[in-house]
Amino acid sequence: MDYQKFISAKSQQRNPSPIRALGKYMFEEGMISLGAGHPNPSTFPYAGMVLKLKNGEEIEVDSALFQRSLSYDLTSGLPQLNSWLRQLQTLEHNPPVDFTLSIGSGSQDILSKALEMFIEPGAALLVEDPTYAGILNFLKSQPCDLVGIATDAHGLIPEALEKILKNWPESNPTGKKDQPRPQVLYTIPCGGNPTGASATFERKQKIYEICRTYDILIVEDDPYYYLQFASPRIASYLSIDVDGRVLRFDSMSKILSSGVRLGWVTGPAALVERIDLHTMSTNLQPAGVSQVMAYELLNKWGHEGFFEHIRQVSNFYREKLEEFRKYLDKRMTGYAEWSIPECGMFVWLKLLGGVTDSFELIMNQALKKKVIAVPGMVFLPAGEKTPYIRLSFSNVSPENMNEALRRLAEVVQEEADRNGVAIQS
Ligand code: PMP
């Protein structure tokens, strides 16, 4: 593939940091460095690290590795962790074409860098409607227009994507007739945030083929991938990417810890290395101590141990959802409509009772009753009023599920009364 046309002028101006570019030679056998102005680690007060696991096990972090983690290191991450993750990608996704991997400070870090790389001022970018508010927030600060593609209980609708691309520029929701056809699709294929929706494999295949036809790059943001409740997991876009048009983002946030701030990008070298160029001029690298903390555990577990952990985590959320589902049925029937997700930690509810603006309702009525839900508006590319809200069941006890939904139903009932709408519960 020719990646040149996807890269913005801003990204093309990025060059390797002259000092960081030497970094990869630093750890070569026999190398004596008078180059990098690294602080001397002997002045750092930390002597070692022991990780205590909840099962009572302790892992003493290898002392040389720990010392290394205290210093500056490679932009693409600690090589041991990088290579462990590469093996994971091969085991799990078996990408059909050669790939490069780089670690970031959470997936948000590298995702925003990737999107920036593709945004030429005045460009249009394809996003799901609704989509992740954290990325919308970033994109709204960028010189681009967002083109929302309709979704349903199985995520992005291939026909809706095709219709927009085929009829461009007439289909452009901004009305700009001279705007080039979008070249990049940002999608959350599993347990989407905010809808909880997951694309079926057939849909992914259709969407991939459409992207081939119109030469679109796919930014696959998949932090909930390992929270799929059914087994085997639905295969990723990366796993069917015969062209090298997928840039895939994974995250430790939902499976090991969100505070370690570790995510990784997998895809064509020409794109991944460009993200590294960005990192070289911003946060320099992901945090060494976090990487060592993750690596020591992953290395001890091995990939099989990791998959076993994943089974436990996804079972945890599956059981939580089962509980939540009971209370949704009990409390929200007649007050809202929803689909039950097959992955992740969110349920997307359409409030009934004549609700047209969930933002107003949540901010003014629900908060007064001491219940929080996220108004759907914050996930909409065009930010219009909507009756939808996002609920998360990940961190709520059964008692609080019951009580929160009771309060929410009360809020909807009061709104229905104001609107003169009868609730059919
Ligand atoms: N993408 C999506 C869809 C998310 O929901 C999140 C976290 N809320 C992120 C990316 C960012 O995750 P991380 O913690 O890895 O930066």
Same domain membership, residue 321 and residue 296: no
Check pocket membership of 108 for ligand 1, CB cut-off 6 A: yes
Q: How far is the CA of 110 from the centre of ligand 1 (A)?
A: 11
Q: Mean of the pLDDT values across residues 6-26? A: 87
Reported for 400-408, long-range contacts at CB under 8 A and 24+ positions apart, including other chains, are 401/323, 401/324, 401/327, 402/327, 402/330, 402/331, 404/371, 405/327, 405/328, 405/330, 405/331, 405/332, 406/331, 407/366, 407/369, 407/370, 407/371, 408/331, 408/332, 408/335, 408/366, 408/371, 408/373
> Which CATH number goes with the domain that contains 324?
3.90.1150.10
Q: Mean of the pLDDT values across residues 220-226? A: 98
Structural domain contains residue 359: yes
Q: How far is the CA of 258 from the centre of ligand 1 (A)?
A: 9
Same domain membership, residue 208 and residue 327: no
Per the structure, the count of domains in the chain is 2
**Minimum CA distance residue for ligand 1 atom 9:** 108
**By the 8 A CB rule, do 145 and 125 touch?**
yes
Same domain membership, residue 327 and residue 239: no
Amino acid at 270: A
> Which CATH number goes with the domain that contains 244?
3.40.640.10
Q: Mean of the pLDDT values across residues 326-349? A: 97
Question: For the chain, how many residues are written?
Answer: 425
> How far apart, in Å, are the Cα atoms of 348 and each of 329, 388, 392?
14, 7, 9
Last residue of a domain, one of 270, 304, 338: 304
Residue-level pLDDT at 20: 76
Residue-level pLDDT at 17: 82
Query: 384-403 burial, b if ≥16 CB within 10 A, otherwise e?
Result: eebbbbbbbbeebeeeebbb
Structural domain contains residue 199: yes
Check pocket membership of 251 for ligand 1, CB cut-off 6 A: yes
pLDDT over threshold 90, residue 35: no
Question: What region does 4 belong to: left with phi over 0, alpha with psi -120 to 50, or beta?
Answer: alpha
pLDDT over threshold 80, residue 283: yes
Structural domain contains residue 311: no
Check pocket membership of 263 for ligand 1, CB cut-off 6 A: yes
The residue whose CB lies within 8 Å of the most ligand 1 atoms, and thus the one to mutate among 109, 220, 251, is: 251
Q: Mean of the pLDDT values across residues 178-205? A: 97
More confident residue, 35 or 201: 201
Q: How far is the CA of 263 from the centre of ligand 1 (A)?
A: 9
C-alpha to C-alpha distance for 107 and 223, rounded to whole angstroms: 8
Structural domain contains residue 310: no
Check pocket membership of 257 for ligand 1, CB cut-off 6 A: no
Residues with Cβ within 8 Å of residue 400, at least 6 apart in sequence: none
Residues with Cβ within 8 Å of residue 66, at least 6 apart in sequence: 46, 48, 49, 292
Last residue of a domain, one of 253, 279, 304: 304
Q: How far is the CA of 132 from the centre of ligand 1 (A)?
A: 8
Q: Which two tokens stand for residue 246?
A: 């997928």
Q: How far is the CA of 223 from the centre of ligand 1 (A)?
A: 6
Q: How far is the CA of 31 from the centre of ligand 1 (A)?
A: 39
As a whole number of Å, the CA-based R_g of the chain is 23
Phi, psi angle pair for 147, to nearest 5°:
-110, 105
239-266 pLDDT tens trace: 999 999 999 999 999 999 999 999 999 9
User: Band of the pLDDT at 38, cuts 50, 70, 90?
Assistant: confident
Same domain membership, residue 294 and residue 388: no
pLDDT over threshold 90, residue 24: no
User: Band of the pLDDT at 18, cuts 50, 70, 90?
Assistant: confident
How many C-alpha atoms does 53 have within 13 Å on its Cβ side?
Answer: 16
Q: Mean of the pLDDT values across residues 112-128? A: 97
The ligand 1 atom nearest the CA atom of 108: 16
Share of the chain above pLDDT 70, in %: 100
Check pocket membership of 106 for ligand 1, CB cut-off 6 A: yes
Same domain membership, residue 370 and residue 325: yes
Same domain membership, residue 337 and residue 292: no
Q: Mean of the pLDDT values across residues 130-151? A: 97
Check pocket membership of 107 for ligand 1, CB cut-off 6 A: yes
The residue whose CB lies within 8 Å of the most ligand 1 atoms, and thus the one to mutate among 110, 128, 132, is: 132
Residue-level pLDDT at 297: 98
Same domain membership, residue 244 and residue 103: yes
Same domain membership, residue 218 and residue 135: yes
Same domain membership, residue 127 and residue 78: yes
Check pocket membership of 253 for ligand 1, CB cut-off 6 A: yes
More confident residue, 33 or 101: 101
Q: How far is the CA of 71 from the centre of ligand 1 (A)?
A: 27
The residue whose CB lies within 8 Å of the most ligand 1 atoms, and thus the one to mutate among 151, 247, 253, 254, is: 253
Structural domain contains residue 29: no
Residue-level pLDDT at 25: 86
Check pocket membership of 188 for ligand 1, CB cut-off 6 A: yes
The residue whose CB lies within 8 Å of the most ligand 1 atoms, and thus the one to mutate among 107, 111, 131, 378, is: 107
389-422 pLDDT tens trace: 999 999 999 999 999 999 999 999 999 999 999 9
Last residue of a domain, one of 276, 304, 332: 304
Structural domain contains residue 261: yes
pLDDT over threshold 80, residue 23: no
Domain that holds residue 344: 317-419
User: Which residue shows structure tokens 């599920």?
Assistant: 401
Same domain membership, residue 158 and residue 106: yes
Q: Which two tokens stand for residue 279?
A: 């990192």
Q: What is the mean pLDDT of the chain?
A: 96
pLDDT over threshold 90, residue 16: no
Whether the ω angle into residue 182 lies within 30 degrees of 0, i.e. cis, is no
The ligand 1 atom nearest the CA atom of 253: 14
User: Band of the pLDDT at 289, cuts 50, 70, 90?
Assistant: very high
Residue-level pLDDT at 198: 97
Q: How far is the CA of 108 from the centre of ligand 1 (A)?
A: 6
Q: How far is the CA of 107 from the centre of ligand 1 (A)?
A: 6
User: Band of the pLDDT at 132, cuts 50, 70, 90?
Assistant: very high
Same domain membership, residue 287 and residue 211: yes
